[in-house]
């Protein structure tokens, strides 16, 4: 399968701070490829490099087979971008926002009108074309942002945390739009996110932590690598409890925040022995299948949300 994006050993620094530490990955045509990580993980730096806003550091980046440093303009012509912060003029109507964006692309006249009508229809915005943007909900405004990015018929769409600030229903609707674009047009989509439920919808995922690539693969594949089930126990003395469980039950434990975590193929078999051996110490426990947060914990030893906080 043809690769649209190829990144090899990419490094980027802000002064003495390493933002990206030699990450490598490729993205095939038609994939929805996600970058998942806490704030400061390197997602936004990766977005800015791939969207040509930053010059790439050491390493090589090729998009559409073209070198990002030498052929930046040619790459931009085939790319659509949705930024994390809104880029709409809220006093203008929806159609007017798209028209101004079209002019920036050098599109005008009947061709521009055709593209605007097409994209408004495609994203379910045709009946809101003459509404001022400020009257739209957050979810509808993000759809207008996506419509703007589609005007130049991009082969690659890059989005930086596009659903930040949206309620869960609006996030799901926005992702349905992305999946429709991939299905109907074969568009390749790169998206950064810190929402675990969004990352689960990607074809493949690169998990970043402190500028390092800690995991790469399909979400289900990454979760299956943990193996089996995850048992989380809240105890009165997590440190001491963890050591006593390892000694008594001969299982490996992980201390994550204030919890003790056990990853075992049949962790449910440990519930009764735990309660029998430590009836006064166990405050609560939960049992479930691995999640992407468990993948992050497994790779870094820290909770995903801890880093964000």
Examine residue 71 and state whether it is found in any structural domain, yes or no: yes
Cβ–Cβ under 8 Å, residues 262 and 252: yes
Q: What are phi and psi of 212, to 5 degrees?
A: -105, 145
Mapping DSSP onto H, E and C, the string for 216-238 reads EECHHHHHHCCCCEEEEEEECCH
Examine residue 300 and state whether it is found in any structural domain, yes or no: no
Q: Verify that 74 and 7 share a domain, yes or no.
A: yes
The per-residue pLDDT for range 272-284, each reduced to its tens digit, is 989 999 988 999 9
List the structure tokens of 38. Answer: 């806490």
Please give the average per-residue pLDDT across 221-247, as a whole number: 89
Cα separation, 176 vs 72, whole angstroms? 30
CATH of the domain at 266: 3.30.70.80
Q: Verify that 24 and 168 share a domain, yes or no.
A: yes
Confidence (pLDDT) at 307: 43
How many other C-beta atoms can be found within 10 angstroms of the C-beta atom of residue 276? 8
Q: Which of 222, 251, 279 is the last residue of a domain?
A: 222
Q: Verify that 167 and 207 share a domain, yes or no.
A: yes
Q: Verify that 46 and 170 share a domain, yes or no.
A: yes
DSSP 132: B
Q: Verify that 158 and 72 share a domain, yes or no.
A: yes
Confidence (pLDDT) at 134: 95
Cβ–Cβ under 8 Å, residues 53 and 223: no
Domain that holds residue 234: 227-289
Q: By percentage, how much of the chain surpasses pLDDT 70? A: 98
Q: Which of 222, 250, 267 is the last residue of a domain?
A: 222
- Closest alpha carbon to 190 in 176, 180, 204: 204
Q: Verify that 233 and 111 share a domain, yes or no.
A: no
- Name the average pLDDT for the chain: 90
Q: Verify that 64 and 190 share a domain, yes or no.
A: yes
Examine residue 29 and state whether it is found in any structural domain, yes or no: yes
Q: Verify that 240 and 254 share a domain, yes or no.
A: yes
Confidence (pLDDT) at 225: 86
pTM of the full structure:
0.85
Q: Verify that 200 and 175 share a domain, yes or no.
A: yes
The total domain count for the chain is 3
The per-residue pLDDT for range 50-87, each reduced to its tens digit, is 999 888 778 999 999 999 999 999 999 999 999 988 88
Examine residue 297 and state whether it is found in any structural domain, yes or no: no
Confidence (pLDDT) at 283: 92
Of 24-28, 48-52, 297-301, the range with the lowest mean pLDDT is 297-301
The per-residue pLDDT for range 183-222, each reduced to its tens digit, is 888 899 999 998 889 999 999 999 999 999 999 999 999 9
Please give the average per-residue pLDDT across 296-306, as a whole number: 79
Between helix 109-122 and helix 94-104 the angle, nearest 10°, is: 130
SS3 142: helix
Q: Verify that 105 and 63 share a domain, yes or no.
A: no
Examine residue 192 and state whether it is found in any structural domain, yes or no: yes
Q: Which of 148, 182, 197 is the last residue of a domain?
A: 148
Q: How many helices (H) and strands (E) does the chain have?
A: 12, 14
Cα separation, 74 vs 66, whole angstroms? 8
How much of the chain is in helix, strand and coil states, percent to nearest 5?
A: 40, 30, 30
Cα–Cα distances in angstroms (integers) from residue 59 to residues 43, 56, 72, 208, 306, in the given order: 17, 8, 16, 17, 30
Examine residue 42 and state whether it is found in any structural domain, yes or no: yes
Q: Verify that 218 and 280 share a domain, yes or no.
A: no
CATH of the domain at 179: 3.40.50.300
258: pLDDT confidence band, cut at 50, 70 and 90? confident
Please give the average per-residue pLDDT across 2-31, as a whole number: 94
Q: Verify that 108 and 158 share a domain, yes or no.
A: no
40: pLDDT confidence band, cut at 50, 70 and 90? confident
């Amino acid at each position: 399968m043809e690769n649209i994006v190829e990144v090899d050993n990419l490094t980027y620094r802000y002064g003495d701070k390493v933002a990206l530490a030699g990450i490598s990955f490729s993205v095939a045509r038609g994939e929805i490829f996600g970058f998942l990580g806490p704030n400061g993980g390197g997602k936004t730096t990766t977005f800015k490099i791939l969207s040509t806003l930053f010059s790439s550091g050491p390493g090589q980046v090729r998009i559409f087979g073209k070198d990002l440093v030498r052929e930046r303009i040619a790459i931009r012509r085939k790319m659509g971008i949705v930024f994390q912060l809104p880029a709409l003029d809220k006093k203008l109507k929806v159609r007017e926002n798209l028209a101004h964006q079209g002019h920036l692309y050098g599109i005008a006249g009947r061709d521009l009108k055709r593209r605007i009508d097409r994209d408004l229809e495609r994203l379910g915005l045709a009946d809101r074309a003459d509404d001022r943007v400020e009257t739209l909900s957050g979810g509808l405004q993000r759809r207008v942002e996506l419509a703007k990015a589609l005007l130049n018929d991009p082969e690659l769409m890059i989005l930086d945390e596009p659903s930040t600030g949206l309620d869960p229903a609006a996030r799901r609707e926005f992702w349905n739009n992305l999946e429709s674009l991939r299905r109907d047009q074969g568009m390749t989509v790169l998206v950064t996110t810190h929402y675990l439920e969004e990352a689960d919808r990607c074809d493949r995922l690169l998990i970043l932590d402190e500028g390092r690539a800690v995991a790469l693969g399909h979400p289900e594949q990454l979760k299956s690598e943990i193996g089996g089930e995850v048992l989380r126990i809240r105890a009165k003395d997590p440190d001491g409890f963890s050591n006593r469980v390892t000694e008594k039950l001969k299982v490996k434990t992980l201390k994550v925040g204030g919890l003790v975590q056990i990853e075992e193929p049949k962790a449910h078999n440990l519930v009764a022995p735990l309660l029998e051996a430590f009836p006064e110490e166990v405050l609560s426990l939960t049992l479930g299948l691995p999640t992407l947060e468990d993948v992050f914990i497994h790779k870094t030893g820290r909770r995903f949300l801890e880093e964000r906080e």
